Amino acid sequence: MKYIRQVVIIIIFSFIGEVLRYLLPFPIPASIYGMVLLFVALITGAIKLDWVNEVGKYLIEIMPVMFIPAGVGLMASWGVLKPVLLPVCIITVVTLVVVMVVTGRLSQRLIRTSREKRELYE
Amino acid sequence: MNEFFETSLFAGVFLSLAAYELGAFLKSKFKLGIFNPLFVSITVTIIVLLAGRIDYNVYYASAKYISWLLTPATVCLAIPLYEKWALLKNNIKAVGLGLCAGTATSLTTVFVLSLLFGLSHEEYVTLLPKSITTAIGMGISEELGGYVAITVAVIVVTGVLGNMFAELICKVFRITDPVSRGLAIGCSSHAIGTAKAMELGKTEGAMSSLAIAVSGILTVILANVYAYFL
């Protein structure tokens, strides 16, 4: 029974996400609405961690395989991609690295300065 | 082969998962980054489909059941985030500024490089949402008049590359703090990168999940502004 209830709750949040996606005019997918709502429900205690934990962790663990069909979809869009391949590849790789480094280094510096400050006051 | 594939509900799923396991096996055997299971499974599946002259749509009729799980799985990313709520509250400034800077960097880099390569407005807006999760990125590209199929392809490639090289990039650029590593991965390579962040650690996974939502929503707002630049 435990697993059924967990599945039901997760599907309910996915469904509410879909409803919001339908009603609101933003290009935000159902999954993001559902994620934010589940997060708020957990924080406020409306949903207990035990009610979603095992099935949730299971779904997260098998998540990588869910991207295979989208990746294989590259073979279908190869025709439109081919003419702009070189600039697109360079932009993709450069942006990936730059964004990762800027986000990581900046937040790391901020975390360290605030930690040092905290230690100074203690 | 096409006819059997068309009637089979499991052929596509079986092919995808078996290829994934093959990738996982190669990874554990050779410990090389190139044997990223996701990358191996996509490559092997494409090769098998091409060799068997099987249409993507035929494959997708079966494989779509794997993708179906994506929405509930993404919803569940709220769980690790909830478990790391205290950590998030303690570092709220670093997290907020890091994600804003990361999103702005993504859009600015695409803008500068598009200018450099002399891309058209349509090609430029196609690439603008490349760092964020597919569902949001598709919407933005469509709204701004981009080529949605290319946007999806670029987003997927970005994610897979992020999944493959996140560990290496973090190491080379000495990003060692788990919170920062998670933010960096989620902000640059969305949900596919997050799958890797989950493997690196609970904190990395939680922060990467947060980054998908925040950078996605920020991009919705900022892309409309950036679209006027070129």
Rounded to two decimals, the ipTM of the complex is 0.90
State pLDDT tens for residues B186-219: 999 998 899 899 999 999 999 998 898 889 888 9
Task: Name which of B75, B175, B180 to mutate to probe chain A: the one with the most chain A Cβ atoms within 10 A of its Cβ.
Answer: B75
Q: Is residue A16 part of a domain?
A: yes
Q: Is residue A80 part of a domain?
A: no
Domain count, chain A: 1
Structure tokens at A43: 């924080």
Q: Is residue A85 part of a domain?
A: no
Q: What is the largest CA-CA distance in chain B?
A: 57
Q: Is residue A82 part of a domain?
A: no
Average pLDDT, chain B: 90
Interface size A-B, in CB pairs within 8 Å, comes to 325
Return all residues near B195 (Cβ < 8 A) that are at least 6 apart.
A63, A64, A67, B38, B163
Query: In terms of pLDDT, which residue wins out, B183 or B35?
Result: B183
Q: Is residue A37 part of a domain?
A: yes
Closest-CA distance, B91 to chain A, in angstroms, reads 7
Closest-CA distance, B12 to chain A, in angstroms, reads 9
As a whole number of angstroms, the distance between CA A10 and CA A18 comes to 13
State pLDDT tens for residues B159-196: 989 999 999 999 999 999 999 999 999 999 998 899 89
Q: Which domain holds residue A3?
A: 1-61
Contact A91 B19 (CB under 8 A): no
pLDDT category of residue B1 using cuts at 50, 70 and 90: low
Question: Which among A14, A56, A106 is the nearest to B98, CB-wise?
Answer: A106
Question: Which among B70, B94, B153 is the nearest to A114, CB-wise?
Answer: B94
Question: Which among A39, A92, A111 is the nearest to B157, CB-wise?
Answer: A92
Structure tokens at A93: 């790789």
Task: Name which of A22, A59, A66 to mutate to probe chain B: the one with the most chain B Cβ atoms within 10 A of its Cβ.
Answer: A66
CA dist list (Å): B88 to A17, A45, A57, B195 = 24, 18, 20, 19
Q: Is residue A97 part of a domain?
A: no
Q: Is residue A17 part of a domain?
A: yes
